[in-house]
């Protein structure tokens, strides 16, 4: 009863969070246009402000905050202007008159913008120097009226308040709310317009003979005045002292994946993203290398709400910006959850003065790339024959599937004459020998659809954004894919004369996922087996002919085609921000992340032509829910004086996570049909089980940012976290951080050096925590599993048996927080008038007391595992990003961005009992001082190519001609596991890099992005299939055609071991034969787009119409030379021997799309 009440309570919360703000939004939207009196109303807003010799732009920024207006001006207009003013509840027009009149600055109102310009009759000496002085008039010159429109380059939205000035004169104007302007220009072919707007790059355009021009302003991504979100507060980009990687909306919009991080792979230095080709968007994100043996994934914060969301459930089209907090000083405000870094996501919002309806959509196809050529039926028989004769066996005696004609030549060597497959593979003669290409049979041309409609509007009181999105990705394996429908509503309302703002950011989505992956069977199923029998049944392994146990992948994919998992997601937050006093505000935010997973899978009966079958059907039903709720309260204070800027934050946050699931299975369905197949429809034996989990977190935190003279920067953070995962003695952890910056470019000794546009040095130190352990690690844990504890004490072997409890785990009440200390030094720079910008960072991380669960001695008894704080690790590295861009007079512009990062990992300490768990010989060679992801094994020394080599080599069981020879490292004359293994590679890349090229010419745009890694060694265990006939317990796999080039006396130069029916040389052991270069370079993205002219679109009421075509993953370069060349499918996803599967092959993708707005 209590759980039912909790579910109803959660449902009520969801309704409140979702429906009530939506209804309020509808009411406010209907009142969102204020009519012609907006300008008058804006100027009558009351302002209170105190400023003493403060920079004018800071005073204007304060007025913007308190009145919700936007000032636009040429930056040179306010540079070096300092003002003093005192006002209490004065109207804005009176205040501006007092403030601007002494400075010879005039203003005009356009929508919600106040445009500042220099009074025409006044020209400063500085402007004369810059070439804006009034020229000597030409008596014969006749002014020409020039009209035009100013639009944003990325979305063709009109820009109001843009300054348009005739260069060398005081003639100028500003664009209106529609982006239109009109200006009188001297009748001179060389006349130049200077177009400038805060936050956008200034342009100069030669007028020539034009009477109407269209101007596209590009956002200034280098603008140091840009405000970014850095955790519970905002900060100017120029004032950042930590290491923060940023992603612009433009880069995000190029994403066509279900998971936004897939599209950002390689774009951010220090952020290592890996994934496979599954349509479900599986990714792993690692920030600045390995932090711990038990690293948690990076913390995701969406619109200020910390959560554990899978980014596959978040619509990338709704994301406005992403910031990645990499160093401890930036991330420490999130304390115990920030050791692996923090990803901050801000979603799109409505804009004041904007009403827009936008559609973006694309359709495309995906296909396998880098397919491995597999043996056909004839080639399979040929290779089998070779393996048999290499063992001196008669091939006809060891198989019933093929018959061979062969003889021996004059040298006594076997020669194959003919291979004849058996005609029928079963006694019923319904399964005829085939020549099946299992890749073709089980794959398809994957289709993709992504369609979104977005509505935004806003005025001074209300801002709204509503979107609906449909995303579908059918995988390259048949019957696999993802379908997602998502809705988002973001609104904000200003109340009580702008003292109170309330709002919500809510997303609702439902997804259907079929993530089957049978690529392993595509690669290993023998080609002689048909997909279907002649009577329409399933083809399959021929047991009676000695075939091993294979599974028909087409059967598995087809029978599982309706076995979807449905995920329903609600994630969002509601907030209120109240201005208590001048410069002091209180904000409260409640966030909820609800995930409901359910599926109903039918286990079908089936029969294959070779005799394999499943005669028992059943139905499995599963339901689970995860709920994370967070309540955050923060107090913000900011103070701006002449030389001092201070922002202070204090807060408290509580978070609760709950999980529960129930899983039921029942046999014997009368009808194998989804309309009928429920648990209650089945009549056989049934199983029901369920689990649950819960933990809480309580946090106190504080932060301040201080700027002195805009040159000297200081920031400090304190966080005190308490978690229910730890015992009373160690329940709370303290996580401090401090950082500082020095803007060298503003110092007098560098200010007049033209080469340097910007130069800032940063340094930081901080501590983060990790609590990524099970919630039951504190106590002894027991369960009452009937299957594991039942026993026939009464002598009966059937019926109800006596059962009890078993121990699963030993508790440790002394567990404490895992702590990571990180030091960071960074340099941000801009040269050549900021055409070249970049940053470089060095970091050093040290993690101590890592939470670790070592193996235990069997003598302890069942359930002897125990969590301890045991190991220490160091991680250090360097990150670099450079951007160079330029624009030419003919309108062509481009930007090239390259980034590179490298890190080195080292295990500093491990408990004595587990020193060899991660590699080593168990005696005197362990992993201490080496990277955690090191590989330990034998050194392969080529193949035995003569009997003399076999005889003279060290003692090695199973050695022979064509077999792998291993190095005798200790020179004792025999190959042993104790003394002849060593460290043979590290799977961490030495370098990760990406190169992006963007260009634009007139209405065309082009972009291209390359990503790669270098210097790592991977275990290519696919070679156990591609280079050996049989080293596994299961035998008779198909193999790539590569194996046809294996060593034989006639092919002595081959480096592939001789084919063999047996593994007497133990060649599946870990050795350098399986370690290969993991380096690769991939063309991740290439796109060509065209924007239709705005003048043409305005005639039909459109703002933007852009069409584009792009392709992804179309070039995949891997190392193809040298002893360590990669011989597998994809070094990004090497097959692992421990997995009886293969990664979902990453596909090529081709898309066509359109962006339209009204």
Residue 197 pLDDT: 79
Query: How far is the C-alpha of 105 from the C-alpha of 118, rounded, in Å?
Result: 5
- Domain presence at residue 63: yes
Q: Is residue 166 part of a domain?
A: no
Phi and psi angles of residue 590, each rounded to the nearest 5 degrees, phi first: -120, 125
How many other β-carbons are positioned within 10 Å of the β-carbon of residue 386? Answer: 21
Phi, psi for 750 (deg, rounded to 5): -120, -10
pLDDT given for residue 961 in this prediction: 94
Query: Mean of the pLDDT values across residues 611-635?
Result: 95
**C-alpha–C-alpha distance, residues 281 and 313, integer Å:** 10
Q: Are strands 319-325 and 481-495 parallel, antiparallel or unpaired?
A: unpaired
pLDDT grade for 1065, boundaries at 50, 70 and 90: very high
Q: Which of 438, 530, 280, 444 is nearest to 1143 (CA)?
A: 280
Q: Is residue 957 a part of any domain in this protein?
A: no
Side-chain-side CA neighbours of residue 731 (13 Å): 11
* pLDDT tens per residue across span 221-255: 555 556 777 878 888 888 889 999 988 888 888 87
pLDDT in tens, 685-743: 889 999 999 999 999 999 999 999 889 999 999 999 999 998 888 899 999 999 999 99
Say if 97 falls within a structural domain. yes
Instruction: Answer whether residue 111 is part of any domain.
Output: yes
User: Mean of the pLDDT values across residues 537-554?
Assistant: 92
Residue 124: band (very low, low, confident or very high) from pLDDT cuts 50, 70, 90 = very low
Question: For residues 852 and 861, what is the distance between their CA atoms, to the nearest angstrom?
Answer: 19
Quick check: is 523 in a domain? no
pLDDT in tens, 390-406: 999 999 999 999 999 99
For residue 986 the two structure tokens come to 């590290």
Calculate mean pLDDT across residues 820-827: 95
Lowest mean pLDDT among 754-763, 853-862, 887-896: 853-862
Per-residue confidence (pLDDT) for residue 229, from 0 to 100: 77
User: Residue 344 pairs with which residues in a beta bridge?
Assistant: 301, 323
- In 994-1100, where does DSSP find H-type helix? 1023-1026, 1094-1098
As a whole number of angstroms, the distance between CA 347 and CA 345 comes to 6
Q: With bands split at pLDDT 50, 70 and 90, how would you rate the model's confidence at 135?
A: very low
Q: Say how many C-beta atoms besides its own lie within 10 A of residue 314's C-beta.
A: 24
pLDDT reading at 612 higher than 90: yes
Domain count, the chain: 1
Q: State yes or no: pLDDT of 472 exceeds 90.
A: yes
Query: Tokens 């593994």, residue?
Result: 1063
Query: Mean of the pLDDT values across residues 331-359?
Result: 89
| Exposure on the CB side of residue 1056, measured as CA atoms within 13 A | 20
Map residue 728 onto helix, strand or coil: helix
Tokens of 93: 């027009």
The reported pLDDT for the residue numbered 9 is 42
Q: What integer pLDDT is reported at residue 75 of this predicted model?
A: 65
For residue 883, what pLDDT is reported?
95
* φ/ψ (deg, to 5) at 849: 65, 40
DSSP assignment, residue 252?
Answer: H
CATH of the domain at 97: 3.55.50.30
* Of residues 76 and 915, more confidently modeled: 915
Interatomic CA distance for residues 249 and 244, integer angstroms: 16
pLDDT at 198 over 70: no
1034 has a pLDDT exceeding 80: no
Q: How far is CA 347 from CA 159, 304, 460, 490, in A?
A: 22, 10, 20, 8
Q: What does the mean pLDDT of the chain come to?
A: 86
Q: Is 360 in contact with 383 (CB distance < 8 Å)?
A: no
What average pLDDT does range 668-676 have in this prediction? 93
Torsion, Cα of 304, 308, 313, 319 (10° steps): 30
For residue 931, being part of any structural domain is answered with: no
Task: Tell me the CA distances in angstroms from 308 to 246, 342, 655, 738, one per residue in order.
Answer: 21, 11, 11, 27
What digits encode the pLDDT tens for the residues 943-973?
A: 999 999 999 999 999 999 999 999 999 999 9
The answer to whether residue 138 sits within a structural domain is: no
Q: Which domain holds residue 75?
A: 38-120
Average pLDDT of span 460-469? 93
| Contact indicator for 76, 116 with CB cutoff of 8 Å | no
């Amino acid at each position: 009863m209590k759980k039912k009440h909790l579910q109803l309570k959660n449902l009520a919360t969801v309704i409140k969070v979702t429906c009530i703000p939506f209804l309020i939004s509808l009411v406010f939207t209907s009142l969102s246009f204020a009519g012609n009196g907006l300008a008058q109303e804006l100027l009558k807003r009351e302002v209170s402000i105190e400023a003493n010799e403060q920079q004018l732009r800071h005073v204007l920024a304060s007025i913007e905050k308190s009145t919700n207006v936007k000032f636009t001006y040429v930056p040179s207009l306010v540079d070096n202007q300092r003002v003093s003013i005192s006002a209490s509840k004065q109207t804005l027009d009176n205040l501006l008159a007092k403030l601007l009149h002494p400075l010879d600055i005039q203003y005009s109102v356009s929508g919600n913008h106040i445009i500042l310009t220099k009074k025409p009759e006044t020209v400063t000496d500085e402007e004369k120097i810059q070439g804006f002085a009034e020229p000597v008039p030409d008596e014969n010159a006749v002014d020409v009226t020039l009209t035009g429109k100013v639009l944003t380059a990325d979305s063709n939205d009109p820009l109001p308040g843009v300054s348009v000035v005739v260069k060398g004169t005081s003639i100028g104007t500003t664009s209106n709310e529609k982006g239109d302007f009109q200006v009188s220009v001297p009748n001179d072919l060389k006349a130049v317009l200077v177009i400038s707007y805060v936050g956008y790059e200034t342009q100069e355009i030669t007028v020539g003979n034009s009477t109407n021009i269209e101007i596209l302003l590009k956002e200034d991504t280098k603008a140091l005045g840009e405000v970014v979100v850095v955790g519970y507060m905002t900060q100017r980009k120029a004032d950042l002292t930590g290491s923060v990687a940023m992603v612009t909306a433009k880069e995000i919009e190029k994403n066509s994946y279900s998971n936004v991080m897939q599209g950002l792979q390689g774009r951010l230095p220090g952020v290592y993203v890996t994934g496979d080709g599954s349509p479900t968007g599986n990714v792993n994100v690692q920030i600045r290398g390995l932090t711990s043996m038990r690293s948690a994934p990076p913390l995701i914060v969406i619109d200020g709400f910390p959560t554990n969301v899978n980014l596959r459930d978040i619509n990338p089209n709704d994301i406005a910006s992403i910031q990645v907090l990499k160093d401890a000083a930036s991330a420490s405000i999130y304390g115990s959850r920030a050791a692996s870094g923090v990803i901050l996501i801000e979603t799109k919002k409505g804009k004041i003065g904007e009403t827009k309806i936008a559609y973006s959509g694309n359709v495309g196809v995906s296909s396998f790339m880098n397919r491995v050529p597999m043996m056909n039926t004839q080639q399979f028989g040929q290779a089998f024959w070779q393996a048999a004769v290499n063992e001196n066996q008669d091939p006809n005696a060891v198989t019933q599937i093929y018959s061979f004609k062969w003889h021996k030549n004059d040298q006594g060597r076997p020669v194959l004459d003919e291979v004849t497959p058996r005609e029928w593979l079963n006694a019923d003669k319904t399964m005829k020998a085939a020549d099946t290409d299992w890749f073709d049979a089980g794959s398809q041309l994957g289709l993709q659809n992504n369609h979104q409609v977005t509505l935004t509007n806003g005025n001074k009181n209300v801002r709204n954004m509503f979107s609906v999105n449909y995303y579908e990705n059918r995988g390259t394996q048949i019957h696999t894919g993802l379908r997602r429908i998502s809705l988002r509503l973001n609104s904000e309302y200003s109340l009580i004369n702008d003292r109170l703002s309330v709002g919500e950011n809510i997303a609702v989505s439902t997804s259907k996922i079929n993530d089957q992956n049978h690529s392993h069977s595509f690669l290993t199923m023998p080609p002689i087996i048909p997909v279907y029998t002649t009577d329409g049944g399933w083809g399959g392994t021929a047991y009676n002919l000695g075939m091993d146990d294979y599974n028909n992948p087409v059967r598995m994919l087809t029978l599982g085609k309706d076995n979807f998992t449905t995920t329903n997601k609600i994630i969002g937050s509601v907030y209120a921000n109240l201005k208590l006093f001048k410069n002091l505000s209180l904000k409260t935010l409640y966030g909820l992340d609800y995930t409901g997973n359910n599926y109903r899978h039918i286990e079908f009966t089936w029969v294959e032509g070779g005799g394999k079958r499943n005669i028992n059907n059943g139905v499995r039903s599963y339901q689970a829910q995860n709920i994370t709720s967070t309540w955050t309260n923060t107090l913000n204070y900011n103070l701006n004086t002449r030389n001092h800027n201070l922002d202070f934050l204090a807060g408290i946050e509580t978070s609760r996570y709950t999980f529960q699931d129930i899983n039921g299975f029942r046999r014997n369905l009368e009808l194998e049909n989804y309309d009928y197949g429920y648990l209650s429809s089945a009549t056989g034996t049934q199983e029901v089980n369920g689990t649950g989990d819960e933990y809480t977190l309580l946090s106190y935190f504080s932060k301040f940012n201080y700027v002195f003279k805009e040159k000297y920067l200081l920031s400090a953070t304190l966080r005190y976290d308490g978690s229910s995962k730890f015992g009373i003695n160690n329940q709370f952890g303290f996580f401090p951080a401090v950082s500082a910056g020095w803007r060298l470019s503003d110092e007098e000794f560098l200010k007049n050096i033209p080469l340097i546009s910007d130069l800032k040095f940063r340094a930081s130190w901080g501590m983060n925590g990790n609590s990524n352990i099970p919630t039951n690690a504190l106590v002894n844990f027991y369960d009452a599993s009937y299957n594991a504890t039942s026993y026939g004490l009464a002598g009966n072997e059937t019926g109800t048996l006596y059962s009890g409890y078993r121990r699963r785990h030993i508790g440790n009440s002394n567990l404490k927080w895992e702590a990571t200390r990180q030091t960071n030094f960074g340099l941000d720079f801009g040269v050549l008038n900021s055409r070249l910008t970049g940053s470089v960072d060095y970091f050093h991380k040290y993690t101590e007391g890592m939470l670790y669960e070592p193996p235990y001695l069997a003598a302890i008894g069942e359930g002897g595992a125990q969590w301890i704080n045991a190991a220490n690790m160091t991680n250090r590295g360097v990150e670099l990003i450079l951007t160079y861009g330029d624009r030419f007079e003919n309108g062509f512009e481009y930007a090239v961005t390259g980034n590179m990062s490298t890190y080195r990992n080292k295990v500093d300490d491990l408990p004595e009992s587990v020193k060899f768990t991660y590699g080593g010989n168990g005696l005197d060679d362990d992993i201490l001082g080496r990277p955690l992801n090191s590989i330990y094994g034998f050194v392969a020394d080529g193949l035995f190519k003569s009997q003399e080599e076999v005889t003279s080599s060290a003692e090695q069981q199973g050695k022979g001609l064509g077999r792998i020879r291993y190095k005798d490292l200790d020179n004792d004359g025999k190959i042993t596991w104790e003394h002849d293994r060593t460290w043979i590679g590290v799977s961490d890349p030495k370098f990760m890099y990406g190169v992006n090229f963007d260009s634009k010419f007139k209405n065309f745009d082009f972009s291209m992005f390359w990503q790669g890694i270098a210097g790592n060694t991977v275990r290519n265990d696919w070679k156990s299939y591609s280079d050996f006939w049989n080293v596994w317990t299961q035998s008779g796999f198909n193999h790539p055609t590569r194996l046809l080039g294996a060593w034989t006396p006639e092919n002595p130069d081959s480096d592939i071991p001789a084919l063999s029916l047996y593994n007497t040389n133990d060649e599946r052991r870990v050795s350098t034969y399986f370690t290969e270069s993991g380096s690769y370079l991939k063309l991740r993205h290439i796109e060509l787009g065209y924007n239709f002219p705005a003048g043409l679109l305005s005639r039909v009421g459109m703002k933007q119409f852009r069409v584009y075509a792009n392709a992804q993953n179309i070039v995949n370069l891997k190392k193809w030379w040298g002893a360590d060349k990669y011989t597998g499918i994809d070094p990004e996803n090497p097959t692992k021997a421990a997995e009886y599967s293969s990664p979902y092959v990453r596909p090529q993708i081709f898309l066509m799309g359109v962006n339209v707005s009204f």
